[in-house]
Amino acid sequence: MNKQIYPLLIAQFLSAFADNAILFTVIALVMQSAQLASWYVPALQSVFLIAFVLLAPWVGSFADTHAKPRVLIIANLIKALGAGLLLLNIEPLIAYCLVGAGAAIYSPAKYGILPELAEKELLVKANSWIEGSTILAILLGMVVGAKVADYSIQWALTGVVVIFIISACVSLLLPRTVSRKAEPGSKVFLFYQQIHLFFTTPRSRFAVLGASLFWATAATVRVIIIAWAPVVLMTQNASDIAELTLFLAIGIIVGSALVPRLIPLDFLSRARIPAYLMALFIITLSFMDTVWTARATLFAIGMTGGMFIVPINAALQELGQHSIGSGSAVAMQGFFQNVAMLIAVGSYTFAASHQVNPTTALMGLGSLVFIATFLVSLHLPKNTE
């Protein structure tokens, strides 16, 4: 593995840590406020995702036509600005949307730089490292962020701003990477052309739609748990919910570590098997009523989810590197997965506002994921395992 990947691992670990620390800081802010309704958390998640959807035609091209380390630095500074606005008591929906804009810019550069640092045969392994370290950052960020926020919202937000700035500084250690020449014309029209080109093969369609399915599922499970845990498991604060979600994150780390041996790039269609299992475990979670059975089930959901998403990410980068550009491929993936997340989280927000039980929501989500996996897998080539 190219040693130049280590600064990327550190930089993205810090950025992902801060991303999740700020999320659970905002959750703590909502839980401590009597004025904010229960739908406010999914609404916050939605404004974060809107930035990915609206900026998709530009962020991929931006990552491909500029040195990716520079893009990572700019994105971290934008996220730090959003956290700073929260610290200044600006409306959380506006400030968190700015954090989402920074994340939308960060993602194509983070994943798009990998094919430039790792050969094709090591790309799944590199993604496994990135995904595993990202989930470890999520795990630590949400626990530390929640605990600090339960003590002091101001201290939590200050820490987040500092970590985003440190991540930007670490990105200076990355090598100056290849940048493509900017294509003339409308970025929106070019983005449409890239989607049309990328969807011409069943393999690339499966990768894009599969990634969208995973992230829509992950976002919705996390939002439902915030409502489900206090009702079923009697959790009391942001730290309790963060500790419960730890097991989901640990499962993804384990799944990410196992998958390079089980699902190489040439056997991408095998990824549908853990997707089916993930759906079944989500349904199983709806029947759990104790903390440890819920933790075990969340671990299983995370493990199968990690085994599903890692080879799909690697396939997207490899396919994009040889067609529309790896950054553009990741931005396109971000567009579709965030549209899917918006629809999924928005649907749950609507259901929650109409008093739908979170247990019922989990059962419905698991059933929809199972059906969607079947539909996404329908046209995979018959000659791949």
| pLDDT tens figures, 101-156 | 998 898 878 877 777 776 666 666 777 777 778 878 877 888 888 889 888 889 99
For residue 384, being part of any structural domain is answered with no
For residue 179, being part of any structural domain is answered with no
For residue 382, being part of any structural domain is answered with no
For residue 364, being part of any structural domain is answered with yes
Cα gap 131→75, rounded to integer Å: 19
Helix (H) / strand (E) element for 248: namely helix 238-262
At 117, list the tokens. 């640092």
For residue 383, being part of any structural domain is answered with no
Containing structural domain, residue 20: 5-172+187-377
For position 54, what pLDDT does the model report? 84
- Per-residue pLDDT band for 381 (boundaries 50, 70, 90) equals low
Q: Which residue shows structure tokens 């018959």?
A: 382
Cα gap 75→106, rounded to integer Å: 5
Nearest Cα to Cα of residue 167 among 7, 341, 29, 350: 7
| Residue scoring higher pLDDT (223 or 61) | 223
For position 108, what pLDDT does the model report? 79
User: By the 8 A CB rule, do 380 and 297 touch?
Assistant: no
Domain count, the chain: 1
For position 102, what pLDDT does the model report? 92
User: By the 8 A CB rule, do 367 and 241 touch?
Assistant: no
φ and ψ of 379, to 5 deg: -105, 20
Mean pLDDT of 308-316: 77
Work out the mean pLDDT of the chain and round it to a whole number. 80
At 374, list the tokens. 């079947």
What Cα–Cα distance (Å) separates residue 107 from each residue in 44, 47, 260, 335?
A: 19, 17, 22, 11
- What are the pLDDT digits (tens) for 253-304? 888 788 777 776 666 677 788 889 999 999 999 898 888 899 999 999 999 9
- Per-residue pLDDT band for 385 (boundaries 50, 70, 90) equals very low
- Per-residue pLDDT band for 248 (boundaries 50, 70, 90) equals confident
| Residue scoring higher pLDDT (364 or 327) | 364
The Cα diameter of the chain in Å comes to 58
- Per-residue pLDDT band for 180 (boundaries 50, 70, 90) equals low
Instruction: Report percent pLDDT > 90 for the chain.
Output: 18
> Angle at CA 111, nearest 5°, toward 93 and 368?
65
For residue 368, being part of any structural domain is answered with yes
User: By the 8 A CB rule, do 87 and 111 touch?
Assistant: no
For position 166, what pLDDT does the model report? 96
Mean pLDDT of 22-48: 75
For residue 143, being part of any structural domain is answered with yes
For position 384, what pLDDT does the model report? 46
CATH of the domain at 272: 1.20.1250.20
For position 282, what pLDDT does the model report? 93
For residue 53, being part of any structural domain is answered with yes
For position 2, what pLDDT does the model report? 62
Residue 383 clears pLDDT 50, i.e. is over it: no
pTM of the model: 0.68
